[in-house]
Amino acid sequence: MNFYHIRKIDKTLLVAVFLLMIIGLLIIFSISYSENGTDLLNFKKQFFFAVAGICAMFFTASVDYRMLKNYTGVFYVLILFLLIAVLLVGKITRGTVGWFDFGYFSLQPAEFTKIVAIVVLAKCLSELGNYSNILKKILVSGFYVFFPVGLIMLQPDLGSALVILFIWFCLLCVFGLKKKQIFFIGILGALVSVASWLFFLQDYQKDRIMTFVDPQSDPLGRGYNVIQSMIAIGSGSLWGKGLGHGSQSQLNFLPEKHTDFIFAVIAEEMGFIGGALVLILFTIIFYRLLVIADEAQDNFGKLLVLGTVFMLAFHVLINIGMNMGIMPVTGIPLPFVSYGGSSLIAFFIMIGVVQSVYINGRRYRFEREDD
């Protein structure tokens, strides 16, 4: 651990992440303030989580990412323990047993499972190498993915399970899957989806998928959230109605406005300009992540960064898509913007890991040039 090297972090990436976090805090503050009274509890919690996440990010950035290889087994066993424990003693929220309740705040192990999945898969695939049998890669990496995904589905939390499966599939594509194998996995995924629909998905999860297909089929029931979100986005126009003046959000027409549908609040109160700013910031983040991945000095570091890219991309596409009515509602938060302590801290930790890859990669290049 070397805090001296933190000065060499990727400042462009850091600024983009901080601006997204600030936008999220502004919107949560705006939602908290209304004519009926002000309740700043969520804003205060999110501010506390942001500070904790920033501290975690700088700490992980100061640690050589290669040390993570030595503790993947510990991380994996610990996260499985937490996923089992939350099923036994966890807090039930909207039909999901996914949180440990500590009074002032809650902890959601599924968010940190995404981090562990990226680290474990990065080590597994990097050690198997570029030339090992692809079937072996699928089976070995799939073995590590199967248990956490299965436990998460028991909660049930379809969104988090899909994130991990998406990361796994994309990393396999990067590390050796051919077109025929991708097609085969696609067919297998379709069969699993049908089986999940018949035997595993809860009624409310099926309703969300049906709402995605036709939100107008039940405008006052299962399609209400999506319809109100699209109304909010459309009403923002170019400049928006101003912070604290969004009719859909301030008059409580829009449910889950500080979590799932926070992008709709941004579009309503900050307009097209605000929504575009969020997309531009995410574009900058993805660009810097891809540059860092390309410059990584080993496959382990490259896979850590690419795993972060795939995790963030899935969250952004699904969250903004469901706000616009073009993706099913799955409870996926918008990174660094949506309210939620576990997700915010988890995202910051992965940015810290990416910064570690960047810092140590630059240090290695400079040392090699000096030699």
Whether 193 shows a pLDDT value over 80: the answer reads no
Provide CB contacts within 8 A for 122, sequence distance 6+. 171, 300, 303, 304, 307
Whether 214 shows a pLDDT value over 60: the answer reads no
Would 133 be classed as within a structural domain?
A: yes
Yes or no: say if 272 and 238 are a contact pair by the CB < 8 Å rule. Answer: yes
| Confidence band for 58, pLDDT divided at 50, 70 and 90 | very high
Would 2 be classed as within a structural domain?
A: no
Mean pLDDT is lowest, of 107-111, 224-228, 266-270, for 224-228
Would 367 be classed as within a structural domain?
A: no
How many domains are there within the chain? 1
Q: What is the mean pLDDT of residues 53-78?
A: 94
Mean pLDDT is lowest, of 89-93, 124-128, 246-250, 293-297, for 246-250
Would 356 be classed as within a structural domain?
A: yes
Yes or no: say if 212 and 225 are a contact pair by the CB < 8 Å rule. Answer: no
- Report H helices in 154-261: 158-174, 179-199, 203-213, 224-235, 247-250
How would DSSP label each residue in 25-71?
Answer: HHHHHHHHEETTEE--HHHHHHHHHHHHHHHHHHHHHHS-GGGGGGG
Would 333 be classed as within a structural domain?
A: yes
Q: Which residues pair with 101 in a beta bridge?
A: 106
Would 17 be classed as within a structural domain?
A: yes
Would 50 be classed as within a structural domain?
A: yes
Rounded to two decimals, what is the model's pTM? 0.89
In this prediction, residue 319 carries a pLDDT of: 93
Give the model confidence (pLDDT) of 81-133 as tens digits: 999 999 998 888 777 888 898 877 889 999 999 999 999 999 999 887 765 57
Give the model confidence (pLDDT) of 320-337 as tens digits: 998 888 887 788 999 999
Parent domain of 352? 10-33+40-362
Would 368 be classed as within a structural domain?
A: no
